[in-house]
Amino acid sequence: MKELSTRALHRRAAALIIAGGFGARFWPAAREKRPKPLFSLNGRTTLLDDTIDRLMPLIARERIFVLVPTALEEVFAAAIGNRIPRANLLLEPDRRGTAVAIAYGAGLIKSRLGEVLLAVMPADHYIHPAAAFRRTLSAGLRLAARGDDHGSIVIIGVPPSRPDTGYGYLEAGPALGGGGFKVKRFVEKPNAAVARSMLRSGRFLWNAGMFLVSSSTLEVELGRHCPSLLAALPKLVAQAPGYERSYKRLDFDSFDYEVIEKSANVAGVRAGFNWNDVGSWDGLWQTLRDGTGNALAGKVVAIDSKQVLARGDQRLMVLLGVEDLVVVDTPDALLIANRGRTQEVKQVIKELRRRRLTPYL
> What residue spans define the domains of the chain?
6-276, 281-360
Q: Would you state the pLDDT for residue 206?
A: 95
Whether residue 137 has pLDDT greater than 70: yes
Q: 327: Cβ–Cβ under 8 A, 6 or more apart, which residues?
A: 308, 309, 310, 311, 317, 319, 334, 335, 336
**Mean pLDDT value across residues 247-272:** 94
Is the separation of the CB atoms in 81 and 67 below 8 Å? no
| H or E stretch covering 265 | none
Is the separation of the CB atoms in 259 and 99 below 8 Å? yes
Q: Would you state the pLDDT for residue 150?
A: 58
Q: What's this model's pTM, rounded to 2 decimal places?
A: 0.91
Whether residue 272 has pLDDT greater than 60: yes
CA 84 – CA 109 distance, rounded (Å): 14
Give φ, ψ of 180 to 5 degrees: -90, 180
Dihedral sign computed on CA atoms, order 281, 19, 189, 152:
negative
Q: Would you state the pLDDT for residue 22?
A: 77
CA 361 – CA 266 distance, rounded (Å): 39
Q: Would you state the pLDDT for residue 319?
A: 97
- Amino acid identity at 145: A
CA 206 – CA 314 distance, rounded (Å): 38
Q: Would you state the pLDDT for residue 287?
A: 84
Q: 224: Cβ–Cβ under 8 A, 6 or more apart, which residues?
A: 262, 263
Q: 280: Cβ–Cβ under 8 A, 6 or more apart, which residues?
A: 25, 26, 342, 343, 345
Cis bond upstream, residue 28 (ω within 30) = yes
Mean pLDDT of the chain: 92
CATH topology of domain 6-276: Spore Coat Polysaccharide Biosynthesis Protein SpsA; Chain A (3.90.550)
* Nearest alpha carbon to residue 159 among 198, 212, 125: 198
* Nearest alpha carbon to residue 152 among 174, 133, 168: 174
Segment 183-230, tens digit of pLDDT: 999 999 899 999 999 999 999 999 999 999 999 999 999 999 999 999
Is the separation of the CB atoms in 117 and 254 below 8 Å? no
Q: Would you state the pLDDT for residue 187?
A: 92
Segment 37-75, tens digit of pLDDT: 998 888 889 999 999 999 999 999 999 999 999 999 999
Segment 63-122, tens digit of pLDDT: 999 999 999 999 999 999 999 999 999 999 999 999 999 999 999 999 999 999 999 999
pLDDT band at 263 (very low <50, low <70, confident <90, very high): very high
Segment 1-37, tens digit of pLDDT: 456 777 888 789 999 999 977 788 899 998 888 899 9
Give φ, ψ of 13 to 5 degrees: -80, 145
Whether residue 148 has pLDDT greater than 60: no
The bridge status of strand 266-270 relative to strand 153-158 is parallel
Q: Would you state the pLDDT for residue 8?
A: 81
Is the separation of the CB atoms in 204 and 172 below 8 Å? yes
pLDDT band at 232 (very low <50, low <70, confident <90, very high): very high
Please state, for a pLDDT cut of 90, what percent of the chain lies above it: 79
Q: Would you state the pLDDT for residue 177?
A: 77
